[in-house]
Amino acid sequence: MLEKYDLHCHSTASDGALAPSALVQRAHQQGVTTLALTDHDTTDGLTEAALAANDCGLRLIPGIELSASHANQCLHIVGLNIDPGQSLLMQGLAKQQELRDQRAQKIAEKLEKKGIVGVYQAVIQAAGSGEITRSHFADFLLAQGYVSTQQEAFDKYLSKGKSAFVSTQWAALEDTIAWIRAAGGVAVLAHPLRYNMSAKWMNAALAAFKHAGGQAVEVVTGRASADDIQRSLQFAVKHQLHASLGSDFHNPQNQWVELGRLAPLPAKALPVWALF
């Protein structure tokens, strides 16, 4: 049987629309044979996902996506094949989750100053037992008619430089990689082209990433063009990093991103799953 990997996606444990079990079932229906659940700063969805994966015969890779601060920029570090109960990782996640809640309160305060009330309680309710992310605020703004699309919520309120943006000092890049490595996992720099940084800046960041123990970079992402894939592959080759691929799936209503709908890794790429 042809293997189909998707090593980056999100459930209701963070900012995804589907419960972990429903996410796994959808991945199976899309022909995915190996799936990594990589929720933001939490491993809470992994147990449910593992049970569903066992039921349908899909291989689940336990994962996570950590926010990391480096050179005044937030980078996203995916951890693959982790031990979700490892103590150092758990301690780090507790700190990240506290930062997420503090950020959520500050974003809500900024929005309320603009006359948008009831935000914090609404996003808490929407997140349920999951982690609060900016996507929850975007969904609230959309539902209340303040914007016409989720992207407009970021463009108008939530992105860097906008009125409700809150700068957050996440854990250092080196620390997040150390947590992943302590948990037996592989650290992957997610979506390298999405940071809108120059090639010079990204090469410097990847050098620091590798020096700290990072082992791979996402070469194929959900909306990557052929040119994007080649640019990301050049980063991987230059820094002698393995290559990962993942849809970064969040919501089935997004017609542009689907579980398993990914170009194959280029022939020159070293697959990240060789490190598992």
Q: What is the pLDDT of residues 40-59, one digit of tens each?
A: 999 999 999 999 999 999 99
C-alpha to C-alpha distance for 248 and 257, rounded to whole angstroms = 8
The one-letter amino acid code at 106 reads K
Report yes or no: 270 and 240 within 8 Å, Cβ to Cβ: no
pLDDT of 258 above 70: yes
Average pLDDT value over all residues in the chain: 95
pLDDT of 23 above 80: yes
Mean pLDDT of 200-223: 97
Residue 40 carries which DSSP code? B
**What percent of the chain has a predicted confidence (pLDDT) above 90?**
91
CA-wise closest residue to 161 among 203, 189, 209, 196: 196
Write down the pLDDT at residue 128: 83
pLDDT of 8 above 90: yes
Q: Which CATH number fits domain 5-92+169-275: 2.40.40.20, 3.40.50.2300, 3.20.20.140, 2.70.98.10?
A: 3.20.20.140
Report yes or no: 14 and 40 within 8 Å, Cβ to Cβ: yes
Write down the pLDDT at residue 185: 98
Write down the pLDDT at residue 160: 87
* pLDDT tens column, 122-143: 999 988 877 889 999 999 999 9
Mean pLDDT of 175-202: 96
C-alpha to C-alpha distance for 193 and 268, rounded to whole angstroms = 19
Residue burial 149-170, b: 16+ Cβ < 10 Å; e: rest: ebeebbeebbeeeeebbbeeeb
Write down the pLDDT at residue 1: 67
In which element (H, E) is residue 34 found? Answer: strand 34-37
CA-wise closest residue to 153 among 103, 100, 102, 116: 116
Domain chopping of the chain, boundaries: 5-92+169-275
CA-wise closest residue to 219 among 244, 189, 249: 244
Mean pLDDT of 5-11: 98
